[in-house]
Amino acid sequence: MVNLFAGIQYFAVVIPVFLLALTIHEFAHAWLANRLGDPTARLQGRLTLNPLAHLDPIGMLAIVLIRFGWAKPVPVDARYLKNPRRDMVLIAAAGPASNLLLAAASAFLYRMIPWGGAGLEWTWLVYPVRSMFAEAVWINVVLAVFNLLPVPPLDGSRIVSGLLPLRQAISYSRLEPYGFIIIFLLFFSGLFRPVYDIMHVVSQALVLMWG
């Protein structure tokens, strides 16, 4: 019973945080793409902060089962962009950047809420709210750093592709059909450990940044 109650508490905190993080991430892609001339995401109803527009059913199930998930990718049509290679880099970077900003804001709010300063009668509210901000720091850092990995189809691969000379970018893009296999191997070979360490350092730095 205790484990069940703890599990319910955990998901009551984590799922809303994950939904917000994923929604902000995809909204950032859609917003910048629209600003740069591509209306595709807006016309498909993706230029919104409504989580339902971005949810991927399997990604949501993954949050429950493995405590990590994803949303539907925002469609981008490079033909609308004035400078396609540069603009694609900016659009790709917008998602991780938005998560880092959200992580920094969450770290600030986490540090601003005292554990017991409001009195014992408010502990029931302070504890879950503070836990939610702590989870928001970690989840947003994880999403930002993970998406910056230079593995197709992650945002990092779009950034790398835009920075490479065209011929090398075309060769690099051929890795995309094998992207999920590469990610799987990273997780289960131990090669992902340094990335996890980076996530931990960034999370701690954001919290400590506010004093």
Residue type, 92: A
Mean pLDDT, to the nearest integer, of 41-65?
93
Q: Considering all CA atoms of the chain, what is the largest pairwise distance in Å, rounded to the nearest integer?
A: 64
Most confident segment among 104-113, 114-123, 136-145? 136-145
pLDDT band at 56 (very low <50, low <70, confident <90, very high): very high
191 or 201: which carries more pLDDT confidence? Answer: 201
The yes-or-no verdict on residue 173 having pLDDT over 70 is: yes
pLDDT band at 11 (very low <50, low <70, confident <90, very high): confident
Alpha-carbon distances, residue 30 vs 89, 150, 182, 206, 210 (angstroms): 13, 21, 27, 26, 30
Active-site residue (options: 26, 121, 135, 176): 26
The yes-or-no verdict on residue 85 having pLDDT over 80 is: yes
pLDDT of residue 120: 54
Mean pLDDT, to the nearest integer, of 71-99?
97
The answer to whether residue 26 is catalytic is yes
